Amino acid sequence: MAKIDPSAVDVRPRGRSRRRLLQLLIAATAVVGAVGLMAGPASAAQTCTGAADSNLCLAINGLGGNTFAVHVGIDVHMSLEKAQEYIDDPGDPFIVWIRGDDSGSLAEFLFTVPRTALGASAESGLSGDFDITVPGSLLNEDTGQDEIRAQVFLIDTDTTHTDATFVSNRIVGNWS
């Protein structure tokens, strides 16, 4: 076996390349994940708006046993200072509803999605994550095929004024 001289090992480039490799792996995983979702069954779906003022994502993943994990994530682009102001106000700056979509228009209210994370950053503005696990019956908004959208209200809780409303793209399923 060859002897290794520890002083000959330069750890800095190795650490850097390892981090770079990790970044590549994360990027690759994200691409594979996205392709997998699109090609997969209707039980796993995600859609994001990527709008100029915000990015609103809705994801529904089947967990088996007719239960579904519903995830909503939103970035509302604004200054860090403004985002922090929303966070510092008492109460939740976001209210998230899941609604049916009939003929392309928002229809029946189905349920609210509770907050799991809230943050402010210079890159994204005001960000929130919302998660709930529901039985398929709660997503069953029509006989036969169902269309689901998330509707997000941005509230200034100081004044209870609704500053903005965002609507996700829809996810189509066949829940019961």
Residue with CB nearest Ca ion?
100
Pick from 155, 173, 154: nearest CA to 47: 173
Q: What is the Rg, in whole angstroms, of the alpha carbon atoms belonging to the chain?
A: 21
- Taking CB under 5 A as the binding criterion, the range among 17-25, 45-53, 127-135, 139-147 that sits at the site for Ca ion is 139-147
Q: Which of 141, 149, 150, 166 binds Ca ion (CB under 5 A)?
A: 141
| Helix (H) or strand (E) segment spanning residue 161 | strand 161-167
Closest approach of Cβ 101 to Ca ion, in Å?
Answer: 5
β-sheet bridge partners, residue 44 = 61
> What is the residue-wise DSSP string for 61-125?
EEEETTEEEEEEEEEE---HHHHHHHHHSSS-SEEEEEEEEETTEEEEEEEE--EEEEEEETTTE
Here's the x/- map for Ca ion, 32-51, by CB under 5 A: it reads as --------------------
Stretch binding Ca ion (CB under 5 A), from 11-19, 76-84, 105-113, 164-172: 105-113
> Scanning the structure block, which residue is given the tokens 């709008």?
51
User: Pick from 53, 88, 102, 163: which binds Ca ion (CB under 5 A)?
Assistant: 102
Binding segment toward Ca ion, per CB under 5 A, in 50-58, 87-95, 106-114, 150-158: 106-114
Residue 106 touches Ca ion, criterion: CB under 5 A: no
What distance lies between CA 88 and its chain's CA centroid? Answer: 22
Choice from 100, 134, 166, 170 touching Ca ion (CB under 5 A): 100
Q: Segment near Ca ion (CB under 5 A), from 31-39, 50-58, 60-68, 147-155?
A: 147-155
Helix (H) or strand (E) holding 31: helix 11-39
Contact set with Ca ion (CB under 5 A): 100, 102, 107, 140-142, 146-147
